[in-house]
Amino acid sequence: MPITPIRKLETFPNPAPKRDYHIHMEIPEFTCLCPKTGQPDFATLILDYIPDKECIELKSLKLYIWSYRNENAFHEAVTNYILDDIVAAIKPKYMLLTAKFYVRGGIFTNVVAEHRKPRWKPKPAVNLKEFGEKSNIRQ
């Protein structure tokens, strides 16, 4: 049975909903079409999120990303469409999507779009390296 691109994003329950944890994904094979020239644009998408109740299922994400291959889209628009669709599917506490488009006409384009759940605040970062340098623990 051949696999085809689809815009349906599947989810699964967050296995640790009481903990804020970071999910990082790199998608190096994103393509869409330039709406001005029809030529392909290539990008690496970097998706970082802190889930709430749901996580994104990877195969459905792959097929969703693949669905843009023949779509005309400006870099700024497609980055925001993707962020909006994933946020609608899983309603994360936080999500950051960075689209790093490869050079076109001598210009690299990076588009960064962010979502924060209302009233969600990240906990302060812990710098373990700093802790290790200040302690008397032998390495």
Positions marked catalytic:
34, 41
Gap between the Cα atoms of 78 and 72, Å rounded: 9
User: Strand locations in 2-133, DSSP E?
Assistant: 11-13, 23-33, 40-50, 54-56, 94-104, 107-116
DSSP H/E element including 50: strand 40-50
Residue given tokens 């400006």 in the structure block = 74
How far is CA 38 from each of CA 19, 68, 122, rounded to the nearest angstrom? 44, 13, 41
Are 75 and 30 in contact by the 8 Å Cβ rule? The answer is no
